Each structure stands twice: as structure tokens, then as C-alpha cells.
């Protein structure tokens, strides 16, 4: 087949799509447009990757990985092969091979210039006359093309043969989407963080800000280098060595996640006596730059809110000085793109604006507005736990004189450390007492340049909620709470275990209402235990299906189980105890085993002190960090008190 014919067969179908949007493939985040095209195609066992010069090495390696994970041999090529599937990667208007093909065959590119949208790209899956699959991914830049590979990866989840042809036009509603590790508690270990990066790449999240409150080298020892070595005990509570940090940063780059390392200089930032504070900050940034960091943050949260004019002025001046120092050090006209540093991300003292009266709020943000416009400023809304909304953004941005980024304290559990938030988004809102449980996400979030989520201390378990954050950040209007939750569970635990885990989440949560509440009520009315026993048996079976993740050879599975095991252990034991107590109650009193009854009652009485349900937490920051343990509280509203009821009934 000649090259012209190959190109023609690839793109004739691309312009012959139907007018209405279709759901050809299940892809998350929800795509903005999928259009079915005629026919089906299959990939050859060897697939060639043709990447234009504008496509960076990271994107090419990602393409190779996507194909290899599906059992396909990926080969990079500069010449169009004959008889094989090809993945074309290009940048719009860069005059590369993919760009020229799209232009020659009049592929509609309106989406690539959609105003106010980000990571804009087109993906076309079609084939040649022999139905060999070919793919074009054309992005506004290489990062956008990288996002397109996430869609291809999920298309290939269906297999590599007989795939329906499709055209996808897609983009993000919010530019930066991801995670802020900013909770009070044990910081994530390196394995958890790297696992999160891979998860983020698959679901088009691109930002990770590191500001772990209990990391002493972020706060207490903010001017000091990370240590060369750490002890096993330090590692267990989230300390990182220099090499571990370098490794984390490297993996973030591999997954095109902007790793923003943040410093917390505390009150020194606005102390007039601390004349060398900017130099100290830059010295630490220099050390972190050497570890591969290419974006920095400055936190001054939770140290009091200044209100006097001199301090507000100094606050803005020093932020300006930090940004200028970064520009002068790394962003020279001769600097290579990979060596430059992106703008400072700033978390101010007044991040929840309702803390002060209107006049003080205006004074604060008016003063902060006298900083470089490309400095990114974060708020959490009116309050600490506010759900993202356009009204709060409009109020503050009007006073700041620029757009804002949103630090979303969700599914953060540092104020509810014994709870696990693994339900759907709105179910988690109901469980988190600090969040308005009637709140919903707006169909359009106006004025947010970033939406980053502050998760639970349990990073892998947070992936269910983070999946929803990424889905919403990409496509505000396309977010469907129930569908998103079901997809999130599949994404985190896999298709096979998803039904068991989705069922289990009713009990892993604190507020285990239905179906158990109705079953308990019926039992108390009738004394018939059959339905309760069936439910507890079902619960134990679900636990056993998830327990296999503990020793899984898949690192993501074992990391996830390590996060949830205190809650799993307690739920499983409570289900077992319920069955055993019901068995004894259903017997004639004379037939009961007194030793067994006494042991069951003792176990119930001591259940809150069982070490199998405990986990470590760190409280405070700076010099006030304290290590302690907490006991998991799953199914605390119905199942847990029901155990006490049954134990007492045996008296």
C-alpha cells in the first residue's frame, strides 16, 4: 500500500463521523465528545509509533507503555510502515507528520482552539482497507497529547481486536487537577505517592502539591536539606530521605504530574526581623531543584491572619521577592524548557475568607494583589471545608485582581481520623460532618485555575474520591455522582472485586444506615434472625474477596489493602460476632455454652481496644508533632451498637 493510500484510509473516516455525540467507549474522566465512525478495526501485534518533533520523550514512553501493557510490541519509527498498525502523535500546527495529515484530510480542529479550555486534543481510531487499526492523537501541545493516551489506554481495556472506530474531541474545564498532600497526619510513603502518580496519569490529573504538615523538612526544619538516610521507624511515619524524594520527583515527571514542593516558613515569612528569610527559602529551593523539582509552593497557612497594613504589605513584598528570585535563578532567556521553574503556588494566611469581616478581607486580598499575576493563590472558599463554588471564587478574585486556585479539603479526614471516606462524592459529603451535606458540585465552576484535593491520610484509599475530583475537574457538566462512584470502584479494585467492595463501602463508612438499620429494626420487632444472618454472611463473603488484596502481587492492590485493613478487620470481626451472638440467642437458654457466651461478651466489651483495628496518626506540625494511635470506626451507627444490644440480650 502506498503512503498516500494509507493516509487516505486513515482519515477519510475521520471526517465522515455522525453529527451527534455517542458513548462508544467508557472513558474517565467523562469525555466531552465521542462520535461513532463506521466499522471496526484490530491492532497488529507490532504497533509503530510515529511522533512529531513537538512530542516529548515522556509522551512517547507513555505510548509505548500503554501498548506494551496490552500485549502489543511498540516500535518507534520515523517512516510510515506498511502492513502494521500505527499510532501517530502530534502537536497542532507544528507542521509535523501527524499535523500535516490532519490538515491534508481536513480533520476538523475547532476543539483545539476552544476558548477557556485546557489539554485540548483529538483522538481518531480508524483503520486501513484491511481493518488494521491506526490512531491519531493531535494535541494543542505534547501534554495534551499525553492526555489523549489515557483515553487510548481505556479504549484498549476492551481488547485489541474488533474495536469500534471513533473520534474523540476532548479537553479539561479546569487547567490543573490533582492532589494537595496538605493534611495533618502521617505523610504518604514513597510507594503510595508513586502509585498515586500512575493513577493520576491514567485519569488525566496533572498536579501534585507536596505540603505534608507533619514532614519536618516542610515546616519545622524548612531550611534544612532532606537527610541522606532515615531509620525504619522514621520511614514508618512518613519521613523521606534525599534519594526517596528524588525518586518520587522522577516518577512524577514520568507521569507528567507537576510536582510542586512547598515550603512552610511559618511566621518568619512576615517577621520584619527575619531579613534573610528569602535567601533561606531560595537555598532550600536550590536543594530541591537538585532533586528534580521544577515548581515550588510557599505556605503560610495556620499561623494566624495578619490585618495591619505593614504586615500585609510585607507579605506581598516577600512573595514578590520569592517569585523574582526564582525567575532570576532559573528562568533566563537561555534556559532550556526542562530547566525552567513554573510559577510559585501560594497558600495565604487567609485561605478561608469568612474568618474575618469584609473590610479586613478586602484589605488582605487587595494587598496580596500587588504580587506578580502569574503567582497562583489558593483558597478553600468561605470556610475550611467548603465545596467548590463559583460565588466564593468571584468574591475573592474581585478583591485579588486575578483568578484563583481551589484547595479542596476533601476527602481529608484529619478532623475525623477514625473515619474512612470511600463512598460516592455526595455520600462522603454526608459522612464528613464538617462539609455541608446538602452541597452539590456546580455544573460549571467559574474562575478556578486549579482544583486540587486534600485527601485522607490513607492515600491509596483516597483514590476513590480522587477519581471523582479528576472526573469533575475535567468535565464539570459531565459529572454523574453515581456513575462516577461505580467507575471509581472498578478503577481502584478491579472489575472482578468491584461488586464486593461497592457493597462493603456501606459498612466501611461510619454511618452504616441501610440496609442494616431496617434489618435490625425488624429483628427487634419479630426476633427472627434469618435476614440478619444472611446479611452478615454476605458481609463476611465480601470481606474475604477483598482480603486477597493484602498479599496481591499487584502493588496497587497491596498498598490499597494496607490503608483499609483496620476498618476491614473490624467490619469482618463485627459481622462474625453478630452471627455468633445470634446463634447463642436463638438457642434455648439451657443449650447455650456459658464459656462461649462469656467470651463473646468480653470480646464485644473490649472491641474498641483491639490492636487489629488501630493505626498511627501524627498530630500537629513544626515542633508540636506527636505520634499516637486511633481505632477505626466503621459501621459505627448501626452495627457497632447492635453488638452491645446482642451482648446485653444474652444476660
For 113-172, what is each residue's pLDDT tens digit? Answer: 999 999 999 999 999 889 999 999 999 999 999 999 999 999 999 999 999 999 999 999
SS3 for 320?
Answer: helix
Confidence of residue 379 (pLDDT cuts 50, 70, 90): very high
- pLDDT given for residue 624 in this prediction: 66
- CA nearest 138: which of 152, 117, 151, 123? 123
- CA nearest 158: which of 47, 67, 43, 25? 25
For residue 420, what is its C-alpha cell?
A: 474512612
Each domain of the chain, given as residue ranges in start order, spans 3-172, 176-481, 500-649
What does the buried/exposed string (b/e) look like for 188-201 if buried means 16 or more CB atoms within 10 Å of the residue's CB?
Answer: bbbbbbbbbbebbb
Q: Is pLDDT of 105 > 90?
A: no
- CA nearest 281: which of 346, 340, 325? 325
For residue 169, what is its C-alpha cell?
A: 474531541
Confidence of residue 484 (pLDDT cuts 50, 70, 90): very high
What is the Cα 246 distance to its own chain's centre?
21
Q: What number is the average pLDDT over the span 88-107?
A: 87
Q: What number is the average pLDDT over the span 424-446?
A: 94
Q: Which CATH class is domain 3-172?
A: alpha beta
- Asked if residue 416 lies in contact with residue 432, where contact means CB atoms within 8 angstroms, the answer is yes
**What are the helix (H) ranges across 459-593?**
463-474, 481-493, 498-508, 516-526, 530-547, 555-586
Q: What is the pLDDT of residues 39-83, one digit of tens each?
A: 999 999 999 999 999 999 999 999 999 999 999 999 999 988 899
- pLDDT given for residue 21 in this prediction: 57
Confidence of residue 561 (pLDDT cuts 50, 70, 90): very high
Q: What is the pLDDT of residues 246-294, one digit of tens each?
A: 999 999 999 999 999 999 999 999 999 999 999 999 999 999 999 999 9
Dihedrals phi, psi of 127, to nearest 5 degrees: -155, 180
- Asked if residue 50 lies in contact with residue 22, where contact means CB atoms within 8 angstroms, the answer is no
Which of 98-112, 204-218, 375-389, 571-585 has the weakest average pLDDT?
98-112
CATH of 500-649, one of 1.10.3470, 3.30.565, 3.40.720, 1.20.58: 1.20.58
For residue 629, list its beta bridge partners: 616
Q: Is pLDDT of 335 > 60?
A: yes
Helix (H) or strand (E) segment spanning residue 297:
strand 295-299
Which of 95-104, 456-465, 556-565 has the weakest average pLDDT?
95-104
Q: What is the pLDDT of residues 628-638, one digit of tens each?
A: 899 999 999 99
C-alpha dist (Å) from residue 136 to 48, 58, 80, 576, 615: 12, 17, 13, 54, 48
Rg (CA), the chain: 27
- pLDDT given for residue 96 in this prediction: 87
Q: Is pLDDT of 474 > 60?
A: yes
Q: What number is the average pLDDT over the span 468-483?
A: 98
Q: Is pLDDT of 3 > 90?
A: no
- Dihedral-angle region of residue 124 (phi above 0 means left; psi in -120 to 50 means alpha; beta otherwise): beta
- pLDDT given for residue 621 in this prediction: 63
Three-class secondary structure assignment of 413-470: CCCCCCCCCCCCHHHHHHHCCCCCCCCCCCCCCCCEEEEEECCCCCCCCCHHHHHHHH
Higher pLDDT, residue 628 or 531: 531
- pLDDT given for residue 623 in this prediction: 60
From the number of C-beta atoms within 10 Å of its C-beta (0-12, 13-18, 19+), residue 377 rates as: buried
- CA nearest 341: which of 359, 319, 324, 363? 324
> Percent of the chain beyond pLDDT 90?
86
Q: Give the whole-angstrom CA distance, residue 235 versus residue 237.
A: 5
C-alpha dist (Å) from residue 397 to 173, 372, 599, 602: 18, 14, 62, 58
Q: What number is the average pLDDT over the span 355-370?
A: 97
Q: Is pLDDT of 218 > 60?
A: yes
Q: Is pLDDT of 33 > 60?
A: yes
Q: Give the whole-angstrom CA distance, residue 649 versus residue 638.
A: 16
Which of 1-10, 467-476, 613-622 has the weakest average pLDDT?
1-10
- pLDDT given for residue 10 in this prediction: 52
Confidence of residue 315 (pLDDT cuts 50, 70, 90): very high
Q: What number is the average pLDDT over the span 548-559?
A: 96
For residue 590, what is its C-alpha cell?
A: 439451657
Arithmetic mean of pLDDT over the chain: 94
CATH of 176-481, one of 3.30.230.70, 3.20.20.80, 3.40.50.1220, 3.40.50.720: 3.20.20.80
Q: Is pLDDT of 597 > 80?
A: yes
- pLDDT given for residue 19 in this prediction: 41
C-alpha dist (Å) from residue 633 to 111, 260, 638: 48, 33, 11
- Asked if residue 459 lies in contact with residue 563, where contact means CB atoms within 8 angstroms, the answer is yes
- Asked if residue 593 lies in contact with residue 576, where contact means CB atoms within 8 angstroms, the answer is no
DSSP 628: E
DSSP 388: P
Q: What number is the average pLDDT over the span 223-240?
A: 92
Q: Is pLDDT of 18 > 50?
A: no
Q: What number is the average pLDDT over the span 606-620?
A: 91
Q: Is pLDDT of 11 > 90?
A: no
Amino acid at each position: 500500500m502506498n503512503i498516500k493510500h494509507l493516509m487516505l484510509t486513515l482519515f477519510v473516516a475521520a471526517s465522515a463521523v455522525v453529527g451527534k455525540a455517542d458513548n462508544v467507549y467508557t472513558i474517565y474522566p467523562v469525555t466531552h465528545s465521542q462520535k461513532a465512525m463506521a466499522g471496526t478495526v484490530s491492532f497488529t501485534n507490532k504497533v509503530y509509533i510515529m511522533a512529531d518533533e513537538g512530542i516529548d520523550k515522556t509522551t512517547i514512553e507513555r505510548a509505548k507503555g500503554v501498548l506494551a501493557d496490552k500485549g502489543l510490541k511498540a516500535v518507534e519509527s520515523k517512516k510510515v510502515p506498511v502492513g502494521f498498525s500505527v499510532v501517530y502523535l502530534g502537536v497542532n500546527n507544528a507542521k509535523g507528520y501527524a499535523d500535516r495529515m490532519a490538515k491534508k484530510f481536513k480533520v476538523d480542529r475547532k476543539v483545539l482552539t476552544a476558548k477557556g479550555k485546557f489539554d485540548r486534543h483529538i483522538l481518531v481510531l480508524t483503520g486501513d482497507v484491511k481493518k488494521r487499526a491506526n490512531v491519531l492523537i493531535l494535541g494543542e501541545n505534547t501534554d495534551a497529547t499525553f492526555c489523549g493516551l489515557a483515553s487510548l489506554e481505556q479504549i484498549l481495556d476492551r481488547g485489541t481486536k474488533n474495536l469500534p472506530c471513533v473520534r474523540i474531541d476532548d479537553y479539561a474545564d479546569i487547567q490543573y487537577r490533582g492532589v494537595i498532600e496538605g493534611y495533618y497526619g502521617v505523610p504518604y510513603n514513597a510507594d503510595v505517592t508513586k502509585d498515586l502518580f500512575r493513577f493520576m496519569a491514567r485519569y488525566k490529573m496533572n498536579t501534585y502539591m507536596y505540603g505534608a504538615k507533619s514532614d519536618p523538612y516542610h515546616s519545622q526544619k524548612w531550611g534544612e536539606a532532606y537527610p541522606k538516610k532515615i531509620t525504619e521507624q522514621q520511614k514508618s511515619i512518613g519521613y523521606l530521605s534525599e534519594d526517596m524524594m528524588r525518586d518520587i520527583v522522577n516518577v512524577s515527571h514520568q507521569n507528567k504530574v507537576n510536582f510542586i514542593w512547598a515550603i512552610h516558613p511559618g511566621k518568619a515569612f512576615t517577621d520584619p526581623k527575619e531579613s534573610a528569610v528569602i535567601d533561606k527559602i531560595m537555598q532550600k529551593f536550590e536543594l530541591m531543584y537538585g532533586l528534580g523539582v521544577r515548581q515550588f509552593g510557599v505556605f503560610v497557612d495556620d499561623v494566624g491572619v495578619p490585618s495591619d497594613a505593614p504586615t500585609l504589605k510585607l507579605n506581598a513584598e516577600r512573595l514578590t521577592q520569592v517569585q523574582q528570585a526564582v525567575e532570576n535563578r532559573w528562568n533566563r532567556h537561555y534556559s532550556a524548557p526542562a530547566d525552567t521553574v513554573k510559577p510559585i503556588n501560594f497558600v495565604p494566611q487567609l485561605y478561608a475568607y469568612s474568618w474575618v469581616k469584609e473590610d479586613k478581607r478586602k484589605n488582605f486580598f487587595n494587598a496580596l494583589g500587588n504580587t506578580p499575576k502569574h503567582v497562583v493563590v489558593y483558597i478553600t472558599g468561605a470556610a475550611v471545608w467548603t465545596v467548590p463554588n463559583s460565588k466564593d471564587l468571584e468574591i475573592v478574585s474581585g478583591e485579588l485582581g486575578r483568578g484563583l486556585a481551589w484547595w479542596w479539603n476533601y476527602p481529608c479526614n484529619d478532623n475525623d481520623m477514625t473515619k474512612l471516606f470511600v463512598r460516592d462524592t455526595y455520600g462522603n459529603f454526608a459522612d464528613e460532618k464538617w462539609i455541608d451535606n446538602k452541597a452539590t458540585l456546580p455544573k460549571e465552576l467559574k474562575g478556578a485555575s486549579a482544583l486540587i484535593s486534600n485527601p485522607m491520610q490513607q492515600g491509596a484509599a483516597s483514590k476513590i474520591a480522587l477519581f471523582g475530583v479528576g472526573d469533575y475537574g475535567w468535565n464539570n457538566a459531565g459529572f454523574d455522582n453515581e456513575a462516577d462512584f461505580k467507575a471509581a470502584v472498578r478503577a481502584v479494585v478491579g472489575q472482578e472485586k468491584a461488586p464486593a467492595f461497592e457493597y462493603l463501602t456501606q459498612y466501611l463508612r461510619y454511618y452504616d444506615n441501610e440496609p442494616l438499620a431496617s434489618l435490625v429494626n425488624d429483628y427487634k420487632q419479630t426476633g427472627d434472625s434469618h435476614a440478619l444472618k444472611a446479611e452478615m454472611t454476605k458481609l463476611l463473603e465480601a470481606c474475604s474477596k477483598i482480603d486477597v488484596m493484602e498479599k496481591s502481587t499487584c502493588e496497587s492492590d497491596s498498598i490499597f489493602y494496607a490503608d483499609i485493613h483496620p476498618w476491614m478487620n473490624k467490619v469482618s470481626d463485627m459481622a462474625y460476632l453478630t452471627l455468633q451472638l445470634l446463634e447463642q440467642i436463638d438457642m434455648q437458654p439451657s443449650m447455650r455454652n456459658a464459656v462461649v457466651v462469656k467470651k463473646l461478651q468480653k470480646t464485644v466489651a473490649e472491641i474498641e481496644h483491639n490492636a487489629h483495628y488501630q493505626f498511627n496518626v501524627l498530630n500537629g506540625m513544626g515542633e508540636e508533632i506527636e505520634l499516637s494511635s486511633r481505632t477505626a470506626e466503621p459501621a459505627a451507627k448501626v452495627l457497632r451498637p447492635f453488638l452491645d444490644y446482642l451482648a446485653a440480650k444474652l444476660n
